[in-house]
Chains A and B, each alone.
Chain A
């Protein structure tokens, strides 16, 4: 067990090193000069060269890479060129909306997907099952930004029940800020529920035909107990994997939804940083996202141990 965990941690470090290197290369190979973008269209060549020099962008790629690795080892993600603040602070400021958006989206997705998936498998072939499958197909096919725009149209523009965008003004309370997340979380949650519904249904179908389920029924156990205690608990492992991966995807992949709802989250920061050619922020944000992704995967593997006593590493 300890050996397995150590191996996984070493593997995670190797993945992170690869990500660091690839990210460093990609942002610098991409055309577009941060100094020119920052100084605006009227800047002279001398101004741009001066700023490039101050930012260290005039040094060779290998020198920049060594400096960058040194920074990473010290846990320093650098200074944002555009925001003129440490990248870690910029990420920390934007973590709150992204964290709660991910959490709400997963809660909404799970609240839809688990009951629908379970019932759909339990009543396989019924009208409900057909409707659920159609819903899953539909939800998987629609882009979250499109759904987001529709939700804004209906709940913000037409009825005025919810704010259309943003994360609240300077005097917004915590609850008011959370209210701004309802529509984007619905957009992401509904779309994400498709995959989880399908996985839950498939996984439940597998276990519902197993011998131990038949045994439980023959012992006279109630249907609720059979489905939830015996079948669902055993069907949970693949479902949990999908939920975990969806959460990881949402942290990194809510980019478009955050843009549509103008949420100051990590996804939005990445998009802005790319347009501004803010290298340290692109690198820092991608590294943090990669680290979260790797960590969530690791935690899911560890969770298997708790859920399924047959799993031993």
Chain B
């Protein structure tokens, strides 16, 4: 039903777009894309990370992907999977005539071998590995995944572009990978670490019929070449965009927005609803194991001030406590009253109920993401106003990732996430995620969400889960934030995305 609705929306949008005067896009040219750094591998199975997904999605493809409304859509699969046996059997018809960059045809055996590799190596694959009874090719055109128990997020897991179930040739699956051979519209020509990753058009690419639709639909190959250039310093990305050196510069500090406006060689691109910052509370050890203490923090915080300090102008953030922004099927207002209270007196009372002993709360944050740090500073003031002492521990990101694994070392840490199309995959939901929210009620709802294949019922279950998040306060979603990038006016056909992609993009003559 929801997918149907999404498709109606997509169709309406397509009509609207079609109504605009059509500008013919031309083939040819190379673009330079400034990225935030260098990925540690070009194998999107073995690591997660938005940067890795952004680059590798141009040469590796998955069976499924997401359309412009974040609904599942086939990519290397011919159609959406046929789900049978009470949600335990997924039958996936494969698109025919697809070839790898080495000229060999993609077979059902390649798909089976790739999916098995994914369950062994990818963190997302491991989520489902224990639940898989068999992955097999029923014939040359079909692959069947049999589960031990129903697991509805499987299709979404198969569609992500990082920690991704990409399809590789069965004989090119070493780990670490030796040759980068996928089925995507672009192929790897050369990688010089910390200098560039050079992709060229894959002439043997077989694109889907129809029109582009988000990550799905037809993938047009206008550009001859795409070069990803790692530019870790954000200011350098800004200056490079202003100088016209980069046709696209990813993730630029919002402070640069005004400088990018009205320029000849670049223009700002705002991606609304890019992600959500969160304060993860330590549910395993220390004073935050007390629900009342977590509620005290939730009650004390003023999300509006935190967002304003972190992102500046209102166009860069949205005050919203719901787990999904408007436009997503998962959107719900359940439990939202607990959000953005900033009520020091009530928080003080809750801290008293929790028998708060006056010891400082250790907030672990990093200036690698400046907005984390700014939010932490504002949060510290609100907590102090509620009589809660704060020990702000500012470390580099690598240290934070290490320390957060040790429950004895922190009470709250700050991180952020994109909005994932599948709610069961929200990072802090599993018991094992640092924060260790191992509530019985949560696990019951999460199991129901995973087992249910009817989307309408899943939306209702997720609304209950969101309410529980507000009730138990295992973490605090601060709001939504937009991402700022810069693009050259000569770059046409680019659609803002959390994982920017440049098939369908072209250079204006």
Closest residue of A by beta carbon distance from B163: A42
Closest residue of B by beta carbon distance from A268: B194
Contact of B405 among A36, A149, A152 (CB under 8 A): A36
Q: Does B84 touch A at the CB level, under 8 Å?
A: no
**CB atoms of B401 and A41 under 8 A apart:** yes
Closest residue of A by beta carbon distance from B430: A44
Q: Which of A265-284 contact B (CB under 8 A)?
A: 268-269, 272, 275-277
Give Cα A169 to B399, complex, Å: 34
Q: Which residues of B contact A261 (CB under 8 A)?
A: 236
Excluding A164-B243, A169-B227, 11 further A-B contacts by CB distance (< 8 Å) are A32-B398, A32-B401, A41-B48, A43-B48, A44-B123, A157-B242, A164-B239, A165-B239, A166-B195, A269-B194, A277-B398
User: By CB atoms of chain B within 10 A, which of A85, A262, A268 has the most?
Assistant: A262
Chain B contact patch, size range: 35 or more
Q: Does A83 touch B at the CB level, under 8 Å?
A: yes
Q: Does A45 touch B at the CB level, under 8 Å?
A: yes
Q: Which residues of A contact B198 (CB under 8 A)?
A: 169-170
Q: Which residues of B contact A160 (CB under 8 A)?
A: 243-244
Give Cα A164 to B237, complex, Å: 9
Q: Does A90 touch B at the CB level, under 8 Å?
A: yes
A252-268: CB near B (< 8 Å → 1, else 0) gives: 00000001111010001
Shortest beta-carbon contacts, A-B, top 6? A32-B398, A164-B243, A31-B399, A156-B243, A42-B48, A33-B402
**CB atoms of B40 and A45 under 8 A apart:** no
**CB atoms of A39 and B123 under 8 A apart:** yes
Give Cα A256 to B500, complex, Å: 29
Give Cα A119 to B181, complex, Å: 63
**CB atoms of A90 and B235 under 8 A apart:** no
Q: Which residues of A contact B415 (CB under 8 A)?
A: 41
**CB atoms of B245 and A31 under 8 A apart:** no
**CB atoms of A84 and B41 under 8 A apart:** yes
Q: Which of A31-51 contact B (CB under 8 A)?
A: 31-34, 36-45, 47-48
A85 touching B193 in the complex, CB below 8 Å, given contacts A38-B40, A44-B432, A262-B236: yes
Chain A contact patch, size range: 35 or more
**CB atoms of A275 and B398 under 8 A apart:** yes
**CB atoms of A38 and B123 under 8 A apart:** no
Give Cα A42 to B162, complex, Å: 11
Residues of A within 8 A of B (CB): 31-34, 36-45, 47-48, 82-85, 90, 93-94, 149, 152-153, 156-157, 160, 163-167, 169-170, 259-262, 264, 268-269, 272, 275-277
Closest residue of A by beta carbon distance from B400: A32
Q: Which residues of A contact B38 (CB under 8 A)?
A: 272
**CB atoms of A32 and B432 under 8 A apart:** no
B205-235: CB near A (< 8 Å → 1, else 0) gives: 0000000000000000000000101111101
Give Cα A42 to B425, complex, Å: 10
A163 touching B190 in the complex, CB below 8 Å, given contacts A38-B47, A43-B123, A44-B432: no
**CB atoms of B243 and A163 under 8 A apart:** yes
Q: Which residues of A contact B48 (CB under 8 A)?
A: 39-43
A262 touching B123 in the complex, CB below 8 Å, given contacts A45-B432, A170-B190: no
**CB atoms of A32 and B402 under 8 A apart:** yes
Q: Which of B26-61 contact A (CB under 8 A)?
A: 30, 32, 37-38, 40-41, 47-49
A165 touching B240 in the complex, CB below 8 Å, given contacts A84-B41, A170-B227: yes
Give Cα A269 to B193, complex, Å: 10
**CB atoms of A164 and B236 under 8 A apart:** yes
A164 touching B176 in the complex, CB below 8 Å, given contacts A42-B163, A169-B32, A260-B236: no
